[in-house]
Amino acid sequence: MSDEKREAWQIGKSHRKVDAMERMRGVTRYTDDIKLPGMLHGKIKRSPHPHARIVSIDVSKAMAMDGVFAVVTGADMPTPYGIIPWTPDETALCVEKALYVGDGVAAVAAIDEDTAIDALGAIEIEYEVLQPLFDPEESLAQSRDNPINPYARTGNLSKKVLLEFGDVEAALAKADLVVEGEYFFEGTTHAAIEPHCAVAHVEPNGLLTVWSATQVSHYLHRELAKVLEMPANRIRVIQPPLGGAFGGKSEPFDLEFCVAKLAQITGRPVKILYTREEVFYSHRGRHPMKMKYRTGFTADGKITGVDANTVLDGGAYSSFGLVTTYYSGQLLCAPYEFGAYRFLSRRAYTNKPACGPKRGHGSVQPRFSLEVQLDKAAVQLGLDPIELRRRNDMGAGAKTVNEFQIGSNGFLECLAKVEAASDWKTRRGSLPYGRGLGVAGSTYISGTNYPIYPNDMPQAAVQVCLDRSGRARVFSGANDIGQGSNTMLAVIVSEELGIPLDDIRVLSADTDLCPVDLGAYSSRITLMVGNACLQAAGKLRKKVCEAVAKRWEVSPKRVVLAQGMAIDGDDPERNVPSAQAFVWAEEDHGLLGEVGSYNTPKDRHGDYRGGTIGASPAYSFTAHVAEVDVDEETGVVDVKTIWVAHDCGRALSRRIVEGQMEGSAYMGFAEAIMEQHIVDPGHNGVHPGPSLLDYRIPTFVDTPELHSLIVEAHEAQGPYGAKEAGEGPLHPSIPAIANAIYDAVGVRMDTLPFSPPKVLAALEARRAAEAAGELAPHKGAARRTA
Amino acid sequence: MLRLPRFDMVSPTTVDGVVAALQTPGARLVAGGTDILPNLKHRLDRPPVLVDLGRVAELRTIDVDGDVLRIGAGMTLTEVSEHPRVREHFPSLSQAAGLVASPLIRNMGTIGGNVNLDTRCRYVNQTDFWRSAIGGCLKSEGDVCHVVPGGKLCVAAMSSDCVPVLISLGATIVQVGPNGRRELALETFYTADGTQHTAREDGEVSTELRVPLPKGPRRATYSKWSVRGSIDFPLVSVALRIDLAQDAVSSVVQDVVAVVGVLGSRPRVVTRLDDAVGLKLSDPAFATAVATRVHAQCKPLENVPYEAPYRRQMLRVHTRRAIEALVDAG
């Protein structure tokens, strides 16, 4: 959208994040660092039962304790809410029933944390214990009369989506090969290092301020207004710097409502910091999904049709589940062309912590299934798996079978890059038994076409002001959750106004100071907020250039803003510092401030019901090659290297893009090999290890070599051609590893995670089949057994 | 963040001072704190006073005393792992101490703490809230065992990396208490009751470990498997000591000791290894014989993560591999 052919002086360079030094030096003030005079500490009492009716709550003993200022229960905030406005099915604290081990039932505010903990022990709750349901299919099979969630509308069916494009049965019937597979993705959680934390403060005039470690300050603002039954203009939400989120902080949580209510009751500031255990209970992580796939192929490897049947285990509440259920099917239709597609996805309520969005929302699980299906087809058809993917590439400007308009598409280049970097052609056929290479591809959205609540206002807006000292202030409602969005804004303003990053102050995610932005989710910020920022900064650039051109008596087109100066492009010896240029512009125009906003094009998706969900202004593309070493005696999978090629349209800031690619590949690798967010049905539905000791995420020494290969297929919808890079690069991680395991040792891992006992069991089954003469030895290997 | 319960703290400067401070009923010792503090946060104990060992200088030495190496209980795991005498005489101890948890924890945690590490179980090392959801167990607030249904004896796992190695090396432990000093073989220090898994008597403090210097050529190693390369407690833990006729892997084995941890609350000293003695260390039959005995005699339980049958199978693999690695190292 840059109108002139100027040479970029910031775009595409590597930058230090604008907040990096403060974080490195330990001076960043996170939410838990906020300490206000007279501040009380809150704690939430949680249900030890996975499913129970609350018969009575007696808070009198707790209230009578020294140092206890207030106790609240579900009855104090009974309005149901939900991040998706159509599914309000949770309350700040349980009103009628507790739905999982860890569900919040009451909260106290006390003089300090220890007193608050003691007070929780003094709250007496009588429960009527109910039969819990942990299996989603069992849950769906129950009668609709007594749903787990009291606000559920259709029994334990949280959401059902059935969409069909073309004639799938005919497409499968005419296929030369139909691959059928059943897959299971066990749940995983975000494990951001910073636990959730919120602080509330009420002014004497009733104005409420809530600081929260959230990635959606605007939605939190709205839900606070709803649940607290007060107008939004009496509430201010501020997001302090965050220590990671990954989707785990993208909706309101009990602590935010509790600190607000407790602050209102006591008149004193109140803070609640989750324990790590509570972070696991708040969850909203990746849904467990049971997936059945049928995929038809022609003899030369072209996909004829895809039939998917998925059950999502939603846990106790809807969260983003309506969207997740759509995403589990809607986001699968690129980068490969399908003739026909049908998906049936059903999300079940169960007595577990609620699932929601985790990096790559809803589509990482089906992507695993599809990419393994493709690998199975390649083996059966005798095709190179990269070549099979190439043959199915839909190209730029295509329309998917579910009618999404794809813009730029660098998928083929992604494949070519990982193929070359891994030396695929030479090495894949020659690696010994135990070593293998696997490939997978994917696509992801750059923001959702529609906001969570229907409205016609901009999806993103930015205000930029310049001052006469040569500085810029950028006001943005967007949430920097560590992904670097504040730096992205500074880079754009720097590019447009010619001032260095150090002279740009980004003020973000404060609902009093900043224009509304919808938040950090769906990989929307670079494209949407970036466009809004570019628009505002571009208007200012025009004013500044005109003011300088007037003094120099040249055409404004000759004025270049870069390197902290305004420069005459035809005579670079003539230049002035940026501050002087801004002074001239301020003399001409008055105070220099502009706004920019962005809304999505509405012509890029189908008109069918659900056709808007999953549609995006632009799509990123990714390919991974993973190299693994599988220990045939222990089943341990050592992921040696992952090559990640990602088409982000244009890398506005290279190091941040590479960091996102590496972080994504790491996160997917972790889910593939180690992570398990489960409950133990044999022990009352407890989480088996709600701590970072027992919920294992890989350490530095476990992490593979990660190689980021940036691909830039210029996207007309994006600022400077940019698309997302924060979530897409995760998707191929898991299937690439699964496919590499097959290449290494000839076993299919269709169930996550690929833990040593599971891999060893698969190896033993294969050895038995080989011994029985049912299979030839993989790679012709003669092997020793344990 | 989990909160610690309230307690008093005393910091004696002598062992006698420590023994005196331990007269307070319920008093607990703290050195590096890497075991007791998380356990206190989990409300597994509520001691009125913690007796800090950090200022007791006499616990902070390593020296050769005649034919034994004395290791003061207050030496950190990093110090033990890196000490020249330990490396020279007891490479398997250096190895095990260097594999405990993570560098930061090894810089805090002591060898005395490691041999007194409380037993661990997936149903115990959780918050008090978590345990309330399952009604507690023998080792916490309840009266049932979740690992062995119907079991009356706690089988929480001895999870120290150093203990199997020290037992394999024939170490003794010195306990000082109100009745004076006693020295007992480390092998006899552990009991089969996970709620009280050592022979420590009330008011006693472990002051040193005494490891006899090797009298002849020897190979020793420690094999640990855990899911991650750092942080984790062991899931498979085998210490091996092999005494040789000559200082070469082609030499005949004169004695072999295998000690396995992370089973129940007591490490297992594998017996009937006689059929391996007399073989050459480098003979594959030796590795197979030892691995077979380890596998036959050690039965992991569902007290720590990962299926017990899998971990049992891995005992055989890791034992054999540990011996193969010794052979490869020459």
CB-based contact, B306 to chain A, within 8 Å: yes
Nearest residue of chain A to residue B123 (CA atoms)? A688
Q: Measure the CA–CA gap between B116 and B174, rounded to whole angstroms.
A: 12
- State chain A's mean pLDDT as an integer: 97
Nearest residue of chain B to residue A46 (CA atoms)? B129
Percent of chain A residues topping a pLDDT of 90: 98
Q: Measure the CA–CA gap between A538 and B260, rounded to whole angstroms.
A: 70
Which one of A46, A683, A757 has the shortest CB-CB distance to B134? A683
Q: Which of A448, A725, A452, A395 is nearest to A601 (CA)?
A: A448
Which residues does chain A have within 8 Å of residue B133's beta carbon, measured at their own beta carbons? 48-49, 101, 683-686
What is A428-473 written as a DSSP string? TTTPPTTEEEEEEEEEEESS-SS-SS--SS-SEEEEEEEETTTEEE
Q: Measure the CA–CA gap between A711 and A409, rounded to whole angstroms.
A: 10
pTM of the model: 0.97
Query: How is residue A528 annotated by DSSP?
Result: I
Per the CB < 8 Å rule, is A760 touching B313? yes
Which residues does chain A have within 8 Å of residue B307's beta carbon, measured at their own beta carbons? 757
Q: Which of A400, A415, A485 is nearest to A445 (CA)?
A: A400
Which residues does chain B have within 8 Å of residue A67's beta carbon, measured at their own beta carbons? none
pLDDT of the residue at A5: 57
Q: Measure the CA–CA gap between A523 and A364, rounded to whole angstroms.
A: 14
Q: Measure the CA–CA gap between A497 and A464, rounded to whole angstroms.
A: 11
Residue at token pair 């092999």: B242
Q: What is the mean pLDDT of residues A146-163?
A: 97
Please check whether residue A476 is in contact with residue A529, taking contact to mean a CB–CB distance below 8 angstroms. Answer: yes
Per the CB < 8 Å rule, is B122 touching A688? yes
Per the CB < 8 Å rule, is A693 touching B231? yes
The residue type of A324 is T
Per the CB < 8 Å rule, is A114 touching B6? yes
Q: Which of A619, A631, A613, A654 is nearest to A731 (CA)?
A: A619
Per the CB < 8 Å rule, is B228 touching A277? no
CB-based contact, B313 to chain A, within 8 Å: yes
Q: Measure the CA–CA gap between A606 and A362, rounded to whole angstroms.
A: 20
The residue type of A526 is T
Q: Hey, of B125, B134, B144, which one would you mutate to test binding to chain A, going by the most A CBs within 10 A of its CB?
A: B134
> Cα torsion for A276, A280, A281, A286, to the nearest 10°?
160
Which residues does chain B have within 8 Å of residue A46's beta carbon, measured at their own beta carbons? 129
pLDDT of the residue at A2: 41
pLDDT of the residue at A6: 73
Please check whether residue B117 is in contact with residue B35, taking contact to mean a CB–CB distance below 8 angstroms. Answer: yes
Q: Measure the CA–CA gap between B224 and B227, rounded to whole angstroms.
A: 10
Beta-carbon contacts below 8 Å between A and B:
76
Q: Which two tokens stand for residue B4?
A: 């610690």
Which one of A686, A691, A756 has the shortest CB-CB distance to B133? A686
Per the CB < 8 Å rule, is B133 touching A49? yes
Q: Measure the CA–CA gap between B237 and B159, rounded to whole angstroms.
A: 8
Domains of chain A: 20-28+457-598 (3.30.365.10), 34-131+192-245+249-282 (3.90.1170.50), 289-449+606-780 (3.30.365.10)
Q: Mind listing the pLDDT tens digit for each residue in A69-84?
A: 999 999 999 999 999 9
Q: Measure the CA–CA gap between A546 and A555, rounded to whole angstroms.
A: 8
Q: What is the mean pLDDT of residues B244-264?
A: 97
Which one of B230, B307, B313 has the shortest CB-CB distance to A701? B230
Other beta carbons within 10 angstroms of residue B313's beta carbon come to 21
Nearest residue of chain B to residue A47 (CA atoms)? B133
End-to-end CA distance of chain A: 62
Nearest residue of chain A to residue B230 (CA atoms)? A699
The residue type of A454 is P
Please check whether residue A707 is in contact with residue A642, taking contact to mean a CB–CB distance below 8 angstroms. Answer: yes
Which one of A694, A702, A786 has the shortest CB-CB distance to B313? A786
Q: Which of A621, A615, A619, A646 is nearest to A716 (CA)?
A: A619
Above 90 in pLDDT, residue B1? Answer: no
Other beta carbons within 10 angstroms of residue B328's beta carbon come to 10
Above 50 in pLDDT, residue A1? Answer: no
Please check whether residue A369 is in contact with residue A183, taking contact to mean a CB–CB distance below 8 angstroms. Answer: yes
Q: Measure the CA–CA gap between A127 and B30, rounded to whole angstroms.
A: 40
Chain B: give the shortest CA distance to residue A485, in Å. Answer: 28
Domains of chain B: 57-117+157-212 (3.30.465.10), 218-329 (3.30.390.50)
Q: Measure the CA–CA gap between B25 and A746, rounded to whole angstroms.
A: 61
Which one of A114, A691, A696 has the shortest CB-CB distance to B3? A114
Above 70 in pLDDT, residue A784? Answer: no
Q: Please tell me the total number of residues recorded for chain B in this structure.
A: 330
SS3 content of chain B, % helix, strand, coil (to 5): 30, 20, 50
pLDDT of the residue at A512: 97
Q: Measure the CA–CA gap between B295 and B314, rounded to whole angstroms.
A: 8
Q: Measure the CA–CA gap between A146 and A150, rounded to whole angstroms.
A: 8
**What is the bridge-based pairing of β-strands B49-52 and B28-30?**
parallel
Please check whether residue A418 is in contact with residue A624, taking contact to mean a CB–CB distance below 8 angstroms. Answer: yes
Per the CB < 8 Å rule, is B123 touching A683? yes
pLDDT of the residue at B226: 97
Per the CB < 8 Å rule, is B317 touching A786? yes
Per the CB < 8 Å rule, is B129 touching A46? yes
Which one of A48, A701, A760 has the shortest CB-CB distance to B132? A48
Which one of B1, B123, B229 has the shortest CB-CB distance to A273? B1
Percent of chain A residues topping a pLDDT of 70: 99
Nearest residue of chain A to residue B305 (CA atoms)? A694
Q: Measure the CA–CA gap between A754 and A27, rounded to whole angstroms.
A: 40
Q: What is the mean pLDDT of residues B286-305?
A: 97
Which one of A49, A686, A701 has the shortest CB-CB distance to B229? A701
Q: Measure the CA–CA gap between A355 and A351, rounded to whole angstroms.
A: 11
CB-based contact, B272 to chain A, within 8 Å: no
Per the CB < 8 Å rule, is B225 touching A786? no
Q: Identify the three-state secondary structure at position A766.
A: helix
Assembly ipTM: 0.96
Chain A: give the shortest CA distance to residue B175, in Å. Answer: 31
Return the axis-axis angle of helices A485-497 and A530-552, rounded to nearest 10°.
20
Measured at the alpha carbon of residue A157, what is the angle toward residues A151 and A161, in degrees to the nearest 5? 120
Which residues does chain B have within 8 Å of residue A698's beta carbon, measured at their own beta carbons? 228
Per the CB < 8 Å rule, is A634 touching B317? yes
Which one of A275, A689, A701 has the shortest CB-CB distance to B2? A275
Q: Which of A540, A533, A534 is nearest to A585 (CA)?
A: A540
Q: Hey, of A633, A637, A676, A678, which one would you mutate to test binding to chain B, going by the most B CBs within 10 A of its CB?
A: A633
CA distances from residue A325 to A130, A287, A520, A691, B316 in whole angstroms, order as listed: 27, 10, 20, 29, 45
Nearest residue of chain B to residue A786 (CA atoms)? B317
Percent of chain B residues topping a pLDDT of 90: 99
Chain A: give the shortest CA distance to residue B302, in Å. Answer: 12
Per the CB < 8 Å rule, is A786 touching B123? no
Chain A: give the shortest CA distance to residue B285, in Å. Answer: 14
Q: Measure the CA–CA gap between B326 and B239, rounded to whole angstroms.
A: 12
Task: Give the list of residues 6+ apart from residue B324 with CB closer than 8 angstroms, or none.
Answer: B287
pLDDT of the residue at A7: 85
Where is A315: in which H helix or E strand? strand A303-315
Task: Give the list of residues 6+ apart from residue B215 with CB closer than 8 angstroms, or none.
Answer: none
Residue at token pair 């390919």: A623
Q: Please name the residues between 188 and 247 in chain B that touch chain A, using a CB distance below 8 Å.
A: 225, 227-232
pLDDT of the residue at A780: 82
Chain B: give the shortest CA distance to residue A263, in Å. Answer: 21
Q: Measure the CA–CA gap between A657 and A41, rounded to whole angstroms.
A: 39
Handedness of CA A527, A532, A535, A540 (dihedral sign): negative
Above 60 in pLDDT, residue A3? Answer: no
Strand partners, A565: A562, A577
Return the axis-axis angle of helices A385-392 and A411-421, rounded to nearest 10°.
170
pLDDT of the residue at A4: 53
Which one of A49, A195, A757 has the shortest CB-CB distance to B310? A757
Which one of B130, B227, B307 has the shortest CB-CB distance to A690? B130
CA distances from residue B278 to A238, B123, B168 in whole angstroms, order as listed: 74, 44, 19
Per the CB < 8 Å rule, is A755 touching B316? no
